[in-house]
Structure formats: C-alpha cells, structure tokens
Structure 1
Amino acid sequence: MGTINFEVAALCILLLNFFLFFSRSRLYLQQTRVFLILLLGTTFATVADIITVVMYWNVYRYSTGLLYAANILYYIFQNSVPLVFFIFLLALSGKTGAKRRFAIFLTAFPWMASLSLILTTPVTGWVFSFDPDYGYHRGAVLPLVYAIAFGYTLSGLGVFVRNRMRVSRETRIAIFLFLPFAFSTFIIQFFFPELLLQNLGISLSALIVLLTVQDFGKFTDHGTNLYNRNGLIVQLDLLLQKKRQSTVFLVSLDTVNFLRLVLGPESFSALEREIAGKLFGYAREDRFASLTGQGKFMLVIGDRAGLAVEREQLLRAFMSPWLFRDRLLSLSARICEVAMPEDTSSVPVLFQAQYELTRIQGQYPLNVIIPFGELGLSTTGRYQEISRKINRALITEGLSIVLQPIVSTRTGKTVAAEALVRLSDPSGALISPGEFIPVAEQNGSIHRIGDFVVREACKVYQNLRTRGFSLDYLEVNLSPIQCLQPNLPQRFLAIIREFGLAPQDLCFEITETAANHSPAVMKRNLDALVYAGFTIAVDDFGTGYSNIGGLMDLPFRIVKIDRSLIEAMDRSKNGKLGLEGVVSMFRHMSTQLVAEGVETADQVSRVQEMGIDFIQGYYYSRPVPPEAFMEFLAKEGSVCTG
C-alpha cells in the first residue's frame, strides 16, 4: 500500500472537473452522458483507494472481511473505468447507435469476467489476498485483470483511429493527449504499486477532454447562457433522431430596433439575459431554449405533458410591464407554436417560420400563441418542402388515388365511388391532402394534380368495367382554382376519350364555398361541364358559410351532406331537425343526397328513415387502393345501380 498524496491530488482535480462540467452549458449527447459516468467511476475508484490506504494505516482495527470489501470496491470501480472510456471513444466515433447496442453488450463480457475474478477473490485469492498478519499480496491473475483493462483502452483507441475523420482535429489531439497521461500512470502503478498514480493520470486526462472535446462554448450564446443556433440545431436533431414528439415555441420580441435604440446595445443584451433567465431557466435534455437573433428565442419542450403550463407562462410574461433597471418596460411578443414532427421535421423550417413571424409588421397578433399552420406558407420552408415533394411526386409516381364506396340506401349495394388523391414522400410517409392541396393551389401544380386524378379515375373505371363491375359513376374532387380554367370541359373530354368513357361516367365535386370564388366565372365553367355531359356534386355541405343564393345558381345534381350534420343528428333533437330541414329543402329540388361520414349502424338506419339516397363512410369502408376496392366489390357480390 502506498501513500494517498497522488489520490488526494486526483480527487481535487476531479472536483474541478465536476465544477466545470455542471457550471457550463453542455450538449445532451451520448458522449456527454458517458463522460459523466467516466468522471463518477474515476471518483469512486479514487475515494475507494484512499479508504483502503487509510484502513491499512490501522489495519489491525478492521476485520479481514471489511478489508476485502473495501479493496473489492476499489478494483470494481478501477476496472470499470477502461470499459467506460472504451464506450466514450465509441460515442465520439458515432458507433453507439441502437443497431450497435448488442455488439457493445458483447464487448462487456471481458469486463464481466474480471468482475467475477474480483468478487470471488476472498475465496480464491486470484486478484489479491491478505495473509494472517494482514499483509496485502497481489494475486496470480491480477495481471490478467490489468490486461483486460488495457485491452479496452487499446480497442477503443483502435475504433477511434479508424473513424478519426468523423471527428474534428481538436478532438483527435485531445484524445491523443489523454493517452500519455492515462497509459504512463497505468504502467507505472502496475510495476510500482506503491505509487498510486493511475487515478491522477485519468483525472488529468479527463480535465484535458473537458477543456477541449467537452467544451461546448461554440454552441452557447454567452450573453444569455442559452444555446446559439448551432447548439439548437444539434439538440433538435437529437430529439428528431430519437423520434420524440416535441413542441417548439417561436418567441419574437416586438419593436426590437426601438428597444435597442432607447436602451442601448449593452442594456438590450442585459434585457435579453433577464428574459432568458425568467422564461427559460436552466437547460435540460427535454427543455431548452436558444437565442436565434436579436430579441428572438426558441423554446423546445420535449415532454408535452406540461404544455398548458408553458403556454400560460409565456403569455403571462408579456401581460404586464417588465421592471428592468428601475424602469417599467411594456414588452410584447409574437409567439408561434410548432409541433415536431407533425408540423415539420425540418430544423431550417423553424428559422424560416420565425422570420415569417416578424417579416411584415403587424401581420400576426401580439401576445397570442398562433399555430404553425396560420403562418404564410409561401414564405416558409414547409411550403418549399411540400412544393418539392409535389414536383417530385408528379415525376416519380408519388401520387396515387384511393376509392371510397358510395352505397345506395335502397339496395345496400355500392353504386359509385369517390376517388381521393394521396401524396407520399420517398420514405412512403403520407402527406395530408389538407396540407399539400393548398400548396398546390398556390404554386399552380393543382392543375397537373387534377389531370392526374381524372386520368387515374378513368383508368380505374375502365378496369372495373373490364372485370365485370358496374358503377353509375366515379366522383373526382375539383379545386376552386381548377374551376376557373376556361378550357376545363375540353381537357376532361380529351382524357375520358383516351379510355373510351362517356362524360356521364364522371361526377365532379366542388365544395360548398366554391361559389364564393369568382361566381360568374365559376357558374359559366360549371355550366359548360354540365353541357358537356358531366355531373356536378356539392361536397361537404354544412361546413361552409357560403352565400346560399350563389350556391343555388350552380348546376349541381348531387349534394353530399357533411359528417358534422350527421354527428349533430346524434347529439341533439335540434341537430336532427336541422338535418331533416336540409333533406327537405334539397328533396324539393329533385337533388340526390349523400350522407358522408356515416360510421354506425344506428346512423345508417336513421339516414335511411330520412330518405337520404346514398351513404359514404367508414361503416362500409375506408378509402382503399383500387385493387382493394375491387376486392370489396367482389365480396359484396353483384353491384347494382341506382
């Protein structure tokens, strides 16, 4: 047993390491967590070594069992440090992903073997032993335990060298500086056990790593102690890689230039620091904030359980004046809430959304949290992202259609179907029509999408006839933008002729509010479609607040009652009376009625009692691909008309 001078020095350096680790901003990377375990393991080993030496000063006061226990703890911690260092080097090299966890588990077997040797040493004496006079002796297999520890260090170094180009030059230098301290003291203590240098070498090496590899100053805004843009990007990427749902609040102070002018740059920076401290606090792995520009912040919440509290806190912060340096400041902010990955999974989109939030003075309300969807998509990255996916889909067959049956209430058989467009990205993930259709309407690609849907619907209808199925028609949705094209009938006639179909085989759906878009042009074009032989249906009736007079001027023959009216029928007597009024009104106009969103047998029965002609909803089938739709028809049996 040696003196504890070197171990005490090691403990002081480790305390400095802990102070630096916890007092500075850090990224919540795998390597950061492993490095903390490395510090803890070295600290426990150092303390255990000090305890064993102090006990040996008065060895006769302690039982042999207590001496064995203290030394076993020391060897367990001491021989765990090389394994943790090995994993730390793997983390630096990017080799600790989920797919490699089993391989890492296998590499722990030598450590488990050394652990078994250490734990059984009171019986075997293989690692160390005490003689009857309490003399300490090294065991025969102690060199093997050291060899295992040495092997982990060399293995980790080998992985790091092979993947050295993945890390920065600064990181490579730090690791290669780490090794001389760790290796030299390791070898010295092996040959001169009275010199307890190993933990001193590791603690000095850890300090080098902490001041270099684990120095995340370049990811921090030192004025507010929040993450800067680079730190935010790294932390958000980690959340997205873990596929965790998170929420980002974009906070932009109003009249920033005025505040900077009145307060001065230094005082304005102090104000930002105060706002950061009061609103965001200390960074955690599941809650952190970033200063992304002058007076612009992003708050990331990884746990949505407390979202209501976060919203309330943000709004309350700007409801009353701020007391800042003996003056009251009226601060206001524009705040946007973004759900990731639902709204976007792209970090650059967040920066573009924050730019959009303050791009035009007064465009968005102050001190109100607005959803991401209310931002002007044309100037956000999400808009650009969807535009790219639409263009790619039009080239690479990323668009498809699905069909939902329309069933006669008289016969219970499918008489028609609605063709709905679907857009998927290269990964196969579907993008909601409610998101990509508005983008397509803005960038003009809606016309190409519309032509695609009509052509695919005609192809499916032709295939249905070839297989012996008989439907009255297929329905295709028309965007109001499409309805304003002057050559609409000619384009659709050209397409149906390619497949040998007649205009009566297609029914075009328009929304209830479509009449509000250039009513004269809309009526003229729809009249031309009807004159060409196509049928017009009003979709989602009951959701809009359209001019009924304008709607009645359109040449529709079918009205599709929105599911909201069907659900209202179930909820109250007034809802039922309202639906009966709609049915009565259109019945007097000799209009065919379709009930949408019917999901239960009770709804089917009540719809039939009201005299509605057709039913469309999940009760019969969800929208399905064409092949599945044909299987549905085959199971249903013979298909009736009308």
Structure 2
Amino acid sequence: MRSAGLDDPATWHGEVDLRLLLVEDDSSTRRMLEGLFVGQGYEVTACPNGEAALVRHAEDPFPFIALDLSLPGMSGLEVCRLIRARRDGDRAYILVITSSTAPERLQETLAAGANDYLVKPVSLDLLHVRLAVANRHIHEVERRFTLEEQNTATRSEISDIIRSIPDMLLVLDRSGRILRTNQRVTEILGYEQDELVGGSANRIFGPAFAECFASESPKWESPFHNLDIVLTARDGRQISVLVSGAPLRASTEGSGGGIVCIAKDMSERNRAEERIRTLAFYDGLTGLPNRHLMQERVRAAMASARKHGRSLALLFLDLDQFKHVNDTLGHQVGDRLLRDVSSRLIESVRLTDTVGRNGATAQSGTVSRFGGDEFTILLTDIDDANGASLVANRILSALAEPFEVDGRELYSGASIGIAMFPGDGNDAESLLQSADTAMYDAKSQGRSGFRFFTQPMNEAASKRLSIENRLRRALERDEFALHFQPLQASRTGALTGAEVLLRWHPTGGKPISPADFIPVAEETGLIVAIGEWVLREACRQAARWNRSGHPPIRISVNLSTRQLRDEALCETVFDCLREGDLDPSQLELEITETAVMQEYEASISALRRLAEAGIGLCLDDFGTGYSSLAYIRRFPIERIKIDQSFVSTITECRDDAIFSAAIIAMAHTLGLDVVGEGVETTEQAELLTAQGCDELQGFLFSRPCPAAGFERLLTGSGDPKPDEEGSD
C-alpha cells in the first residue's frame, strides 16, 4: 500500500490509501487505463466484469473504484448501486469512465452513486484533476469515519459503564425533564425507560424535586453528595435514596444544561441498620427491650421525673423454678414459657404503661427482658408506692395461673423487688441495684411475692457482696476448717459417727457463720469447689483416725443442691475415697428432700451409683420438705434425720411427738435407721429413745469440735473443746 498527497502523488497532504479497483472489460483499454493510474501512484487491481469486481471489493474494500458503464453481464450502474448498498459503501470513491456524453446518461450515473465521471478518451490532465478531488474526498471520508468509529466506541464504553453502575442514574435538564435513565431505575422503581424519559422528574421525586432542585439551587452549578431523598416507585412504594450529582454544561445534554444524578438505594442498608438496632436494643426471643435499652429509658425517665418532681418505680422480677423447667423439659419449652410470661407481663401492666415492643409503645412504663429469666418493669407517673404494689400484685396473679406449653401445664411464679425514685437510687445503676436487692429478699422470704427496697436490705446486700468477694479466695488462702459433731447410739450411748461441718476463719478477721456464707456459696456456685474440698479433707481425716488405731466410724458429709447437679459428682467422691484410702462404707452423704426433687432424675441416678459403690446415704431435715413416702421408697438411702425443728418441741407439743413417732415407725417399716438431730435436753433424748430412734445428735452430747477435740472423744480422754459458732 502507498500513500500520497493531493497535488502530487508524493506530496499530497494527509495519508490516503492508494489502492484502486479498475473494472473494464476491454483488455486494451484496461491496460491503457492501468498504466495511467499506476503513473499517478496507484496500486491497481483490474477486473474484466462487475461480478468479479464485487467479489474482490467484498474481500478487501477499495477506497478508489474506476468503473466502466458498459460491462458484459452486470452493468456498471448496477455495480455502482450494489457497492453503495453495502454498510461501508459510502467510504469508496467511484469514478465512472464512459464514452457517453448524453446528459441523461451522466445524471443516471451520478444518481446510481458515482462521485464523478470521465469521458473516453481520457485526458491525462483531466485525470490528474479528478484524482486530486478524489483524494481530498477520500481523506475527508476516512477522517469522518474514523471520528464516527471513535464516537461509536466511546458511546459503547459509556453505555457499558452506565450498565455497570449498581445504582440508579438519571439525567435531568434544568426544566426537570428526564433525559436518560439506566436499567437500575427500571429494576428498582419499576418504570420502563420510555415511561420516564421525556417526562417530569416530579413523577418519581415528588415535592423533593422542587425543594432540592429549585432553579436557583447551587446544585445546578457544582457537584453535590449524599442528598437524602425519597423516590416514589411505580407501585407507590417509597424508596429511600442518597443522591449525588454533578452539573452538565449547556449543549452537552440539551441546550440548557442539566444534572446527572446517581441515586443509591438505601432500603437494604436502612433495613440492616434497623436489624442491627433491633439486635442491639431488643431481645431476640421475646421482642421486649433488652437491658441496654431499659437502662437508657430508666435514665430518661429519671431525668424527666427529677425535672417535674414526679416519682417512678422500677420492678425487678425473677421467675421461680425456671431453671428446673429449662433443665428437665429442654430449652425449647423454656423459650416458649419465657414468651408466654412476657405476654402476661405486658397484659398485666396498666393500659397506660409502655410494653416496649416494636410499634407497641405508650407513655408511662416499659417491660424489658433483663436477661435469662429476669425482667424489669419501669412505671412512671405514679403517685406513690401503692401504684407499684397494684402492678406487682397484678403480675403475681397473672403468673399464678398455669401455662399451657406443648400440651404441658406448667407453673411459674415470680419474686419481685421494687425500688422507688427518688428514694432508692439517684441514677439508673443504683436504682436497678436496689430493685435487684429487694428481689433477692423477696425470693428469700419464700418466693412468689414482692418486697420494696429498704436500707437494711442494702446493708445485707453489702454484707453479702463482701462475703462473696472474700469467699472466692478462701480456699487458696486455706481459711476453711472442718469440725465434727458426734452421733451416738440412743440406747448404749456408743459413738457411731460424726457429721462434718464447715467453719470459715477469714485471714485477719472474725469467723463467719455458716448461716451467712453457705447460702452465698450456693448462689455463686462456689459450693461445688468448697464441697469437694470438704469431702477430700473429711476422707483424709477419717483415714488418719483409722491409722491411729481408733475403731472405724461413719463420717457424714452434707451435699448441696449444686453438687447434686454436678455431672462429675460421683467421680469426685470416688477420687476423694481413693486419695484418702478410705473404705466407702465409712462415708455417708447427707442430702435433703428439696435438693433431690429439684433435679430428681439426675439425682436418683447419681445416688444409686454412689450407693452401689457402698457409700451410705442419709436423708437430712426430714419433715421440712416433700416428706413423700412414695419418693422416699425410690431413694437409695439407709437412714433419715428428723429435723431439729420437730425435736426442739417434741416434749412440749403433742403433735410433734406424734409426728416423730410416725416418722420412726415408717422408717423402720422401710428398713431405714433414724437419727434425731438437735437434741438439747435429757427429756428429748429419752422420748426419742422410747419411740425407737436409733441415733441421737445434738448439744446435749457435744457441740461440733475440731479434729483434735473429736479425737479426744474417740479416746474418751476428756473435753473435746467444742467450737463457739453453733451447730451448723
């Protein structure tokens, strides 16, 4: 391929493709013309007819075509028309060479698509002029086609970019007319492009367009970002979007300029934010506000009450026996029960109280799930404590009714503590702490009741916290000690065993009564580790007495409710026996009816395993719990203890005497031995002995004493030096 300028084949400005297709059937004329064109710098391809010329042009289009009109077969005019009919037909420069000079023939030639013509015989000078014109034409055509191709490519790239934008795109003119949209507008708003293009933006923007895009708005002059607008979808839905945009200069899109807007659909993000807010501030199970939202509302309510001189009450509620339901029937039943409890709490709160669920708020209170089986109820706009009492009684009455869960009838009472503002706390944390303290006091009074916070409760709570903090380090500081209280045969007075009792002497402080620290150990779960220590030390001490030559005696160790729930209980007991090298028959474990009944199936399984290993089992405090003969028959026990509350009045109260006689007779019928505990007088001992009680225990014989003192009892060598901390 060669290129040439316009006036001389070597100097024409701009580069032009100089390939030329010559179509001439006469061979001599074809050779003559080919020589002329070659002399002008062209690369000539010659064809004898129109069909061959069309084939060659289709294979590699020529920019120049010299065409004879009189051709065999297909005429030159028809060839001209077919070339122009091609998609790129306008790019070829067609020069017709004809011997005809008739005007109508020449007009027909130009009408068929020829650019120019020459009359045979061809003048070299005239050919030079015609080719110069042709070169200019071809150069301009190539430039135009190149620009069009570039524009087409650019438009294609822009279209690809627009299609790839994940957000809605709208182009608006200054009059508010929509000039263009992308597919995302259709997908999100439901409008087809032809429904919007050319129409007013008010259709989707509504009043926001006039507010945000007034003619004097700076948004027409400079870019803007994250404009919060609500668009209206075709079906009427309101779509929250963030709009960013930039101005279009005049004549770029419409004569007056405009704005190109990118609208980001915020619906999903808003839903996600709402879900996050719900997760952060609402309980997933019940839909009630959680403790975080509750605390915020308590703070806000206290600020309002302080400002307007009003009172408010905070109720702290804990379900009774919920853990038993959860552990025995499963978490699904427990969850259903919690949801049902929530519904009853909502119904129980006064009609003007807020229940705190999404979309179910009123104005003067909030029911919240604080966590687990604990709830709080915030009551505002109350005149005095009477209003809180009414709500508390209403709640207790509602919860007293049975719950129907998966075909089961369940009961779940509650203990409620009530704290009043401003008297019981100056901030949300202290008010909540006061209500929590009152709740624990209500629970300690027998459950299914409510208590108002009092200052003595606060003192008791502080004392309890102090005990808990010190108790956590008591084991590692070696602050515990074991004391032993003897048991003796009622008829012979022979020493038959000892009950192991725990004493605590904090470093640098006074001894703390078991009545104070054992309940704390139970509540915190520390009793499991402490109980294991007691078992281990008791086995070791009994083994030491054996090695000292004393007759083997029975050592009775109390098991707590928490220990009975411990899956590792049996292994722990067996380990203690092995480490102490103590025969299982010398160890007796004391349990209470209440502890067994709370975890009945698991407890019975563990107790049977212990009994099969030769360990003795004793039912302690008999008469204060279920006292059910049917259950006692299923317990693998060897003896029962009559509770000291009956023994203490056995000689003064005829009914207690009858009760003790019945217990002893029933136990003997079942093959069980009976221990009377808390014996303090000779009269009590004589009556129990007369009724057939097998063993006696109490201050009448000895107070609990340290190991050294008890060893003196074993040897009969004198005063055992009992402790001064009581019998428990």
Please tell me the TM-score bracket, short chain as reference.
0.3 to 0.5
Return the structure number with greater relative CO, CA threshold 8 A, min gap 6. Answer: 1
Structure with a larger share of its residues in helix: 1
Structure with a larger share of its residues in strand: 2
TM superposition score normalised by structure 1: 0.44
